[in-house]
Amino acid sequence: MQHGSMSDAARRLDVSQPAISRLIRDLEQDLGFSLFERRNSRVYATAAARAFYRQVKHHFSGLERLAQSADQIRLMKSGSLRIGAIPALAQTVLPGIIAGFRRGRDDLAISLGAYETDELLARVAGHQFDIALVELPADTTAVQSGSAYRTERVCIAPAGHQFTHSSVVRVEDLEREPFINVGSPDSAWYQHTERLLRDCLVRPDETMGVERPALAPALVREGLGVALVDPFSALLLPPDAVLVRPFEPALPYCIGFVQPPGYEQTPLEQAFIDSFEAGVGRSATLQPIEPDEAAVV
């Protein structure tokens, strides 16, 4: 797959070409489908081979991460902490929180990965992160849920918008207002918004939609409309680029920590959770909740 020919693969592995061909035939027999088509003395990967190769690469990258983690633990005697987070948190509040957490822990190896919730859950279940912050509600059956929090969505508008003179934006203020809808139609985020607008008989002028709240601020800055986003996504642009106002009635936004299944939390991980709770308060007010409470907001 990497070199495009049996002979190049044989040279790379320092074995004979017949040995490579025999290994491929044996693998095809075990799998029950063809991996390569042979045309004009060359081999071409089948669609099935490309799909299988993606899975192989995924598992090999997991093994490489295990080796990297072992190196970090060996070199950093005080341990390591692999943190995952949704992009809105990873790009705004977490860098400062991690910097503060690392003070006095100079030998601690920390890594930070940013993915959407579904990908984070899969990676945590695969033990690729020690701890991760995900958006709730979510299917957490494959992981171990930890501390969870509720905050509220905010309204963001272009700089100089008429909402400048309002301390709070109310749902009726969105009537005929150019509006960027957030979330896919099957998401809880989107459905909460649509239900509120319908119940209050408010009809914004929906100019466009985005699946992720982190995409909305840049569009708002360009004057395409106002949007309802989580307070962390609102921090993705400088304060003079977009206007941020509380929104009423409240639309809850929930996040929570998850860890690998059957995982015993370490003092280091609990210390990081404590640092997060203390540090995030400067950007948003978080109310502790039980993880299953996020499903009923």
- pLDDT tens track for 40-52: 777 888 888 888 8
Strands 144-152 and 252-259 come out as antiparallel
Q: Is residue 170 over pLDDT 90? A: yes
pLDDT at 245: 96
Measured in residues, the chain has a length of: 297
In sequence order, what are the residues at sequence separation of 6 or more whose Cβ sits closer than 8 angstroms to the Cβ of residue 74?
none
Same domain, 197 and 112: no
Worst-scoring range by mean pLDDT, 57-71, 80-94, 178-192, 233-247? 57-71
Residue 197 belongs to domain spanning: 154-249
Residue 284 falls within a domain, yes or no?
A: yes
Residues above pLDDT 90, as percent of the chain: 61
Domain boundary among 31, 61, 91: 61
Asked if residue 66 belongs to a domain, the reply is no
pLDDT averaged over the chain?
Answer: 89
Same domain, 93 and 230: no
The share of the chain scoring above pLDDT 70, in percent, equals 94
Q: 104 and 26 in one domain?
A: no
Residue 160 has a CB neighbour count (10 Å cut-off) of 9
Reported as a single tens digit per residue, the pLDDT across 208-222 is 999 999 999 999 999
Residue-level pLDDT at 263: 80
Residue 296 above 50 pLDDT? no
Q: List pLDDT tens digits, range 182-231.
A: 998 888 889 989 999 999 999 999 999 999 999 999 999 999 999 999 99
pLDDT per residue over 91-134, tens digit each? 999 999 999 999 988 888 899 999 999 999 999 999 999 999 99
Cα–Cα distance between 76 and 280 in angstroms, integer?
27
Q: What is the pTM of this model?
A: 0.71
For the record, the structure tokens of 261 come out as 């299944």
Radius of gyration of the chain (CA): 25
Alpha helices (runs of H) in the chain, residue ranges in sequence order = 6-13, 17-31, 47-75, 87-90, 94-102, 117-125, 188-199, 216-221, 267-280
The better pLDDT of the pair 182, 74 is held by 182
Task: Tell me, yes or no, whether 207 lies in a domain.
Answer: yes
Average the pLDDT over 58-74 and give the result: 67
State how far the Cα of 95 lies from the Cα of 27, in Å rounded to an integer.
46
Q: Cα(31)–Cα(172) distance, rounded to whole angstroms? A: 60
- Inform me whether the pLDDT recorded for 297 exceeds 60: no
Same domain, 42 and 172: no
The confidence band for 72, taking pLDDT boundaries of 50, 70 and 90, is low
pLDDT of residue 68: 66
Number of folded domains that form the chain: 3
For residues 246 and 155, what is the distance between their CA atoms, to the nearest angstrom?
Answer: 6
Within a domain: residue 1?
A: no
Higher-scoring residue by pLDDT: 203, 72? 203
Over residues 30-36, mean pLDDT: 90
Is the model's pLDDT at 61 over the cut of 80?
Answer: no
Q: Is the pLDDT of residue 74 over 60?
A: no
**Of 61, 88, 104, which closes a domain?**
61
287 and 272 both lie in a single domain: yes
With respect to residue 292, please indicate whether it lies within any of the assigned structural domains. yes
Domain harbouring 91, CATH code: 3.40.190.10
Same domain, 100 and 52: no
Whether residue 59 has pLDDT greater than 80: no
- Are the C-beta atoms of 211 and 183 separated by less than 8 Å? yes
Is the distance from CB of 92 to CB of 232 less than 8 angstroms?
yes
> Is the separation of the CB atoms in 110 and 98 below 8 Å?
yes
In this predicted structure, what is the pLDDT of residue 55? 83
- Average pLDDT score over residue span 66-81: 63
